[in-house]
């Protein structure tokens, strides 16, 4: 997010200094010109949007909520912001469904727990995508799972195992947006099976509009969300279209204020950024 150069993914951690806040830490992702951005600075703009939507939406459909979050034009193609999207969308839907008494405090708790285990590039370094523990945090908050608990912890681990397996089937190369979609679909089925919680998912075909932005190459027809029209890959020519469409809906209170605020921030940052 500094100079536009392709990123380097390191096999061994190096001491790197954040270009923005100057904090020095061990990191695995940098650009060839020496630029490095810490997790806090990398997530800052998108996280405000994700939080605003999670706390404000009245939708009970986690897929709908996540697609709204992912349509924000300041969101990077890849990155652990997607773990917060998956966890935030699922918890927001559970809060709005109402049967388990979830609240914005519970959503904030999921964000806090996700922060402990979702780190950029660690899907390749440890084999664990941050979306899996994000969904696990949702189930843990729902059940009251913690160390020392019995069935609650087993159920939470089972949910994470199913999500991890679903993500594995879509790997090669990684795609955070596909992982969000398949994880939420898996979580909704799990919630119905284990708790008889029926979250409404609209009967729509998800057509990904981000294929051309994947820095490692989209899986294209290997991905169930890849959009093909007449045998030719198609994608949105205007990335603002979906953002405008979603923010015109009435289920997000104060949407235009949120949109305006983030578009101003986006405009201020145009021209600055290593591509993720």
- How confident is the model at residue 243, as a pLDDT? 43
Residue 52: pLDDT over 70: yes
- How confident is the model at residue 42, as a pLDDT? 67
Three-state SS at 82: helix
- How confident is the model at residue 275, as a pLDDT? 41
Ranges 9-13, 126-130, 155-159, 164-168: which has the least confidence: 9-13
Residue 265: pLDDT over 60: no
Ranges 79-93, 142-156, 246-260: which has the least confidence: 246-260
Mean pLDDT of the region 44-70? 91
E strand spans, 214-265: 228-229, 232-233
Cα-Cα-Cα-Cα torsion 186, 66, 63, 276, nearest 10 degrees, comes to -60
Confidence of residue 2 (pLDDT cuts 50, 70, 90): low
Mean pLDDT of the region 224-228? 78
Residue 59: pLDDT over 80: yes
Mean pLDDT of the region 123-138? 96
In this structure, what token pair is assigned to residue 100? 């388990």
DSSP letter (8 states) at residue 211: G
What is d(CA 179, CA 166) in angstroms, rounded to the nearest whole number? 8
- The answer to whether the CB of 67 falls within 8 A of the CB of 86 is no
Which residues does residue 9 pair with via DSSP β-bridges, in sequence order?
Answer: 29
User: What digits encode the pLDDT tens for the residues 21-50?
Assistant: 888 888 888 888 878 877 777 666 788 889
Average pLDDT, the chain: 82
What pTM was estimated for this model as a whole? 0.72
DSSP H/E element including 28: strand 24-30
């Amino acid at each position: 997010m500094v100079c536009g150069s392709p990123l380097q993914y390191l096999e061994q951690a190096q001491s790197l200094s954040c270009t923005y806040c100057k904090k020095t830490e061990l990191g695995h992702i940098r650009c060839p010109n020496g630029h490095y951005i810490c997790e806090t600075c990398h997530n800052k703009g998108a996280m405000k949007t994700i939080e605003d939507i999670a706390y404000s939406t009245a939708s009970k459909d986690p897929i709908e909520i996540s697609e709204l979050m992912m349509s924000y034009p300041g969101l990077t193609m890849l990155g652990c912001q997607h773990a917060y999207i998956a966890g935030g969308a699922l918890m927001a839907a559970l809060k709005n469904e109402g049967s388990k008494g979830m609240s914005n405090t519970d959503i904030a708790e999921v964000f806090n727990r996700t922060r402990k285990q979702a780190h950029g590039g660690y899907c390749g370094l440890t084999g664990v995508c941050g979306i899996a523990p994000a969904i696990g945090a949702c189930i843990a908050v729902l059940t009251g799972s913690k160390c020392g608990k019995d069935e609650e912890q087993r159920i939470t681990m089972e949910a994470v195992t199913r999500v991890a397996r679903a993500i594995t089937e879509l790997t090669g190369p990684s795609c955070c947006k596909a992982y969000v979609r398949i994880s939420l679909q898996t979580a909704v089925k799990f919630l119905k099976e284990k708790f008889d919680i029926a979250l409404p998912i609209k009967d729509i075909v998800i057509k990904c509009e981000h294929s051309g932005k994947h820095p490692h190459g989209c899986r294209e027809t290997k991905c169930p969300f890849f959009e093909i029209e007449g045998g030719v890959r198609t994608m949105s020519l205007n990335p603002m279209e979906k953002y405008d469409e979603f923010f015109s809906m009435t289920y997000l209170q104060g949407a235009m204020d949120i949109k305006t605020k983030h578009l101003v921030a986006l405009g201020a940052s145009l021209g600055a950024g290593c591509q993720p």
